[in-house]
Structure 1
Amino acid sequence: MLRNNNEKKLYPNPDVIFYLADEGIVAVNTLTKEEYDLMDTYFSRLKFWNGQRSDKMNAIDVDLLAGDLVLESLADRSQWEGDRLSELFHTATRNPAIMVPSLSEEEAARQFVEMSQLKQKKLERFIPPAIDIIKLPEPHLKVIHDTSLFEVCKNRKTSRSFNGDPVALSHLSDLLFMSFGYIHGKEWEEIAAEDLNTVSERKSSPSGSGVQACDAYLAVVSIEGLVPGYYHYRADGHELALLTPECDAAAISHSVCDQFWVKGAACGIFITVDMNRVWYKSDLARAYAYVFLEAGHISQTTLLNATALGLKTWLSGSMRDEFVAEKFGLDGWRHFPVTSVFIGHGIEDAVPQKIRETALELRQG
């Protein structure tokens, strides 16, 4: 049977997702960020095109095409080997050409100044309630100062063989100040001098618009002078706030999804995000992606400073998010952990003995 020549085949746009709102079904193009409230007839037509059928075009189809909710040819996503959620995250964090028009230098400068002057001048940092406040020793920094960048880059290695020995509080003080403290002073004088936004904070790692959305929360097992527990580093006073008591080797292993080799570490530094500070800059998905860039910068800075202090380090992005957030008093939405750096003493062994034994058993078996 010959198909009617006026019939066409349309394809749902794979960049479009749907959610339920008070108004009904909302379609969101994750790439262009456009949103549409869909009447039932439109959603039904989209479901029709999701099959392998052809039909004559109607007025609804014209609207669907105009909104890029359907395509005239099948989108080729064969190169993407991740799951569907990672594909959507990838498109949602892209900047299509339509969203970033070309600007002259004059237009770009004016946009920067106007955006800065429109922003509020004060942005509070989230401070969780504390059981106790511990003033840290004044940073000494001589060891870090006297160690070359080449040395720390060369010596930084992943260690999965911590021995449980305690870390000196003075070393932790230096590490937190250099990685999370205001080493340039809190006010960005160059910005303030031009009457631009003075919210910007200055630390050792870069942050979009200087909002410094990341904080340090510590799971302390064995630091000299500190009781085991969960802490928040407060850069303003260079102090630790005890949030929850009692932390041990089993707890930190559980926090990072049972990666048991962390049990001998003295402390885990969890890098967390305050989304209120991110949204100060932008509420788009692109700004959310900056969270991971910022946490990556800070984690590398932390690893290098710890190495300069002669400590062994291990980095992990795998964690039981809800467990960690609860221990630190974070809601898991506006404030949540992103990654962690563990520090301690031990040897430069990236392969724990138990894993060596297991690998040997499997080879022999």
Structure 2
Amino acid sequence: MTPELFLRIVDGKVIVWDYAHHTQFEIDDPHLERLIALCSGAEPTDSEIDQTLQSSGVLNARYPEQWGWDCLSRIFHRGTQIDLKPGEPLRTEDGAQEYVDYCAAIADKAPPMHLELPGQTVPLPDADMARLSATTLADALRARNTCRAFDAEPLELRQVSTALWATFGAVHGDKRYDMETQGLLPIGYRRTSPSGGSLQTSEPYLVALRIRGLAPGVYHYRSHQHKLSVVQDSFDPALLGPLLGQQNFANDLAYGIFIVSRFHKLWWKYPHSRAYRVALLDIGCLIQTFQLICAAQNVQSWPAGHFIDAEVNPLLRLDTERESAMFFVGAGRGSGPLSRNQFSILQSRMQPPTSEPVHDLTARP
């Protein structure tokens, strides 16, 4: 097929989806056979079928010459772009009224902003904001780095509590009081990082390995209450590295956090697939905030996007139709950008080869 088409079968009908232009066409067998032929190099004719296919625009796409990933990434990249329709002018009027009207139309359908999992909860100590205040932003920026050589040393629960609160906590209150004071309907709440629509679609799931005062296990952090919900009441540190795609140095972390995106909150306000980009950008902001907070605490951190989704999502007990783990950050004591195994392997490769005597084959006795 062309690079911007794929086929779906819906209710027994074949649908051609032009994902670049967000258009869909039902297609019968003769048109489908001819579409395949044309996409395979056949020359178009004046036939009614060819004219119908050409007028639909599905044959206009060109193969990208330098796309380095597979078709799935191409679908995401192209399908989440916003284009103007052919001949549609760029709108220059202010969109404030249209946006306000849209928000008013969906306000009564807002999903719950706060997630409270059922079961046992664990209180957390107050965050140590004084420790963060003692470090300047410039100092934290300079100290921020990615560590992969951890020492399997424990951290205090208050240090973890501080990182959770300062990164994911409702530091400005459990709702948008700044909106409420202006007589507006408060939707969502604010963290220290920006979030699309103030929806805070990213949820932190703490994997406790070595935290003084907290049993090893998996917990959800309730941002609005600053407490933990127990998801798994135990966890073997030796499993973390395999879950993260054989990055076994992660087994020596003090703790890690899987950042989960709750897609249905975005679906409510942003139905266009471009909102998937917003979910990723939200997480990117949180990662940087987390690493700066760790740097201010003199704690080493490590961000990772590689893990086995099919194992991690069940571990976190997620509803994978509406949410998914998207990223991981870890923290602990350590030093060095490479794991000790990585460094050892590189060192062995950098050793000069054993010298052997050189024989001059041209020499005569």
Same fold (TM over 0.5): yes
Which among 29, 34, 45 is matched to residue 56 of structure 1? Answer: 45
Q: 1:102 to 1:188 in 2, by over 3 A?
A: farther
CA distance in 1, matches of 2:113, 2:271: 18
| 1:230 aligned residue | 218
| 2:130 aligned residue | 142
- Kept in 2: contact 1:128–1:329 (CA 8 A): no
- Kept in 1: contact 2:294–2:331 (CA 8 A): yes
AA aligned to 2:170 is Y
Identity percentage of aligned residues: 25
CA distance in 2, matches of 1:353, 1:39: 60
Q: Deviations over 1:221-265 (max 9, x none)?
A: 011111100100011211011111221221111221110111110
AA aligned to 1:118 is A
| 1:242 aligned residue | 230
| 1:41 aligned residue | 30
- Kept in 1: contact 2:113–2:199 (CA 8 A): no
Q: Secondary structure at the match of 1:97?
A: coil
AA aligned to 1:85 is L
CA distance in 2, matches of 1:227, 1:101: 60
Matches within 5 A, 1:10-49: 13-49=2-38
Q: 1:324 to 1:76 in 2, by over 3 A?
A: closer
CA distance in 2, matches of 1:356, 1:273: 34
| 1:252 aligned residue | 240
AA aligned to 1:117 is A
- Kept in 2: contact 1:183–1:203 (CA 8 A): yes
Which among 80, 95, 98 is matched to residue 85 of structure 2? Answer: 98
Q: Deviations over 1:8-32 (max 9, x none)?
A: xxxx542111111114111111111
Q: Deviations over 1:314-346 (max 9, x none)?
A: 010001112111111102331111101101112
| 2:345 aligned residue | 358
- Kept in 1: contact 2:44–2:50 (CA 8 A): no
AA aligned to 1:124 is P
Q: 1:190 to 1:103 in 2, by over 3 A?
A: farther
| 1:6 aligned residue | none
Q: 1:39 to 1:76 in 2, by over 3 A?
A: closer
CA distance in 2, matches of 1:62, 1:196: 53
- Kept in 2: contact 1:306–1:313 (CA 8 A): yes
Which among 316, 321, 331 is matched to residue 319 of structure 2? Answer: 331
Matches within 5 A, 1:73-152: 75-98=62-85, 102-106=90-94, 108-121=95-108, 122-125=110-113, 127=115, 129-152=117-140
Instruction: State the shift of 1:132 in Å.
Output: 2.0
| 1:284 aligned residue | 272
Q: 1:189 to 1:328 in 2, by over 3 A?
A: same
| 1:214 aligned residue | 202
CA distance in 1, matches of 2:121, 2:193: 26
Under a length normalisation based on structure 2, what TM-score does the superposition of the two structures give? 0.90
Q: Secondary structure at the match of 2:265?
A: helix
| 1:68 aligned residue | 57
CA distance in 1, matches of 2:114, 2:190: 17
Instruction: State the shift of 1:102 in Å.
Output: 3.4
Instruction: State the shift of 1:115 in Å.
Output: 1.3
Matched, 1:275 2:255: no
Q: Deviations over 1:260-280 (max 9, x none)?
A: 111110111111100111101
The two structures, once aligned, show a CA RMSD in angstroms of 2.0
- Kept in 1: contact 2:17–2:23 (CA 8 A): yes
Q: Secondary structure at the match of 1:319?
A: coil
Under a length normalisation based on structure 1, what TM-score does the superposition of the two structures give? 0.90
Deviates more, 1:48-57 or 1:215-224: 48-57
| 2:359 aligned residue | none
Instruction: State the shift of 1:79 in Å.
Output: 2.2
Deviates more, 1:130-139 or 1:258-267: 130-139
AA aligned to 1:309 is Q
AA aligned to 2:272 is L
Matched, 1:181 2:169: yes
| 1:341 aligned residue | 329
Instruction: State the shift of 1:104 in Å.
Output: 3.9
- Kept in 2: contact 1:131–1:244 (CA 8 A): no
| 1:8 aligned residue | none
Which among 181, 191, 199 is matched to residue 203 of structure 1? Answer: 191
Count the aligned residue pairs.
350
- What are structure 1's unaligned runs of at least 5 residues? 1-11
Instruction: State the shift of 1:301 in Å.
Output: 0.7
CA distance in 2, matches of 1:216, 1:358: 34
